[in-house]
Chain A
Amino acid sequence: MAGMSSLSAAQRFHAYANPARFMALSSRLVAPLGMLSALVIAAGLWFALVASPPDYQQGETVRIMYVHVPSAWLAMFGYSVMAVASAVALIFRHPLADVAAKSAAPIGAAFTFLALVTGSLWGRPMWGTWWEWGDARLVSMLILLFLYLGYMALWATIEEPVRAARAAAVLALVGSINLPVIRYSVDWWNTLHQPASVFRMDGPTIASSMLLPLGLMALGFTVLFVTLLLVRMRAEIMRRRVRNLRLARAASGAGA
């Protein structure tokens, strides 16, 4: 076979994981979870935009925090989902873990991108520039985006899913070990160059009136993350099914 692992090994590998159970379970979960996330986010928006007071120091721009902070949390949550799933995939050889890790990456990357842009929009009125190298968390978020893009690029270039899964799992684990080191180095780099702007990203201690919208938005985003993860996992399982069908089809074709 042209570069494919032997047919039976790939199919047995996936057969063992018995995706049928997951597909049945997830098909019942997707719709309700989707509804739940829509409701929670709607409520969150209501409190974030209308029912909460502006900040005495930042004024209305504090409302950007209600999208920026949850996005940042989901960005990191996404990467930890990938790291845990990759560990499970490598240690327990459970292919559904690979599927979960691969499906989580684009969602995490999207939230990281959102965190970066909303962070820049939030900082702009204060710092006068769209990007502030002085803010260690924003810089670390940018590096996290690189890790995500690298992970997805690795999946995109290796055709054979079993080999790609193992390589991506190793990358995700190495990435997760490196994240604290990167974060520390950026903090240290920050103290080296005393940043001109005094303004710190998180601003004043979070007033109680802000906790509700922030909490709702974070919960809504998390439920949305899980919903999208399930949908993308189902798509990935179908994609592998298509691949096996094509292999079988070529094998059964005339004069294989």
Chain B
Amino acid sequence: MTTSDLRLSARDLACERGGRLVFESLEFDVAAGEALVLTGPNGSGKSSLLRQIAGLLEIGRGQIELTGGDPERALGEQAHYLGHLDALKPSMSVLETIRFWALYLGGSAAAAQAALDDMALGDLADLPVAYLSAGQRRRLALARLAAVPRPLWLLDEPTVALDQASVGRLRAFMAAHLAGGGIIVAATHLDLGLGTAKSLRLGAEEMA
């Protein structure tokens, strides 16, 4: 799905939120098939970094670059951003939700149905989202990643509200994405068992 010379790099990156310097002079390089795990205390800027990569947050100083991707599309359009909020509407059914996001983000309706089955949500398809549990809502949010193929995944605490079985399913899902030459940048406390993952500690150097 992606060319092998895909590379996400950041040079001298700084982030300043509401007058507070969150982090500065950050550098990292992630090649195709690799994962970058962000660790560090809360408030150390993990979420801010992910939002900066996704283009949802202003980049004060430094720059982020995705080489080898699709030149016409912005970086944010080639990435899936999974934040703390699940972006789900209670009155819409599971199928309507995934079909909307697949259509909107450029995937196909067929892929949407397949994504539901991957996330074991197939038999809840016409249930309104209001009836779903937190875990099921999370899996519906993850199904969006399966429905629309995008090389870069930006995951903010993806395992929150997931039970053991779902975490196992998530690990396999992420491993498959990496095997397909994709890149993952994830902020998490849980060991995602990604073995070869590089790690980037935020916030620690400033404290010491």
Contact = CB atoms under 8 A, between A and B. Distances in A.
The short answer to whether A and B are in direct contact, CB under 8 Å, is yes
B120 A4 contact: no
Nearest to A251: B133
B136 to A, nearest CB: 6
Contacts of A4: 130-131
Contacts of A251: 133
Interface string B91-107: 00000000000000000
Interface string A112-128: 00000000000000000
A246 B124 CA distance: 9
A256 interface: yes
Contact of A2 (B120, B123, B130): B130
Interface string B123-149: 110011111111111010000000000
A60 interface: no
B133 A249 contact: no
Contact of A246 (B123, B127, B165): B127
B193 interface: no
Given A255-B163, A255-B165, A250 B120 contact: no
B41 interface: no
Contacts of A256: 133, 135-136
A3 interface: yes
A59 interface: no
Q: Looking at chain A's contact residues, is the secondary structure mostly helix, strand, loop, or mixed? A: loop
Contacts of B133: 1-2, 250-251, 253, 256
Nearest to B86: A2
Interface residues of A, number: 14
B33 to A, nearest CB: 28
B166 interface: yes
Given A255-B139, A256-B136, A249 B127 contact: yes
A212 interface: no
A3 B129 CA distance: 11
A247 interface: yes
A246, A253, A256 — most chain B CB neighbours (10 Å):
A253
Contacts of A250: 124, 127, 131-133, 136
Given A251-B133, A253-B136, A2 B128 contact: no
B137 A2 contact: yes
7 contacts: A1-B133, A2-B132, A3-B90, A4-B131, A159-B130, A250-B131, A254-B121
**Lowest 6 CB-CB distances: which A-B pairs, in order?**
A250-B131, A254-B120, A256-B133, A246-B131, A253-B124, A255-B165
Given A3-B130, A255-B135, 6 more contacts: A2-B134, A246-B128, A250-B133, A250-B136, A255-B120, A256-B133
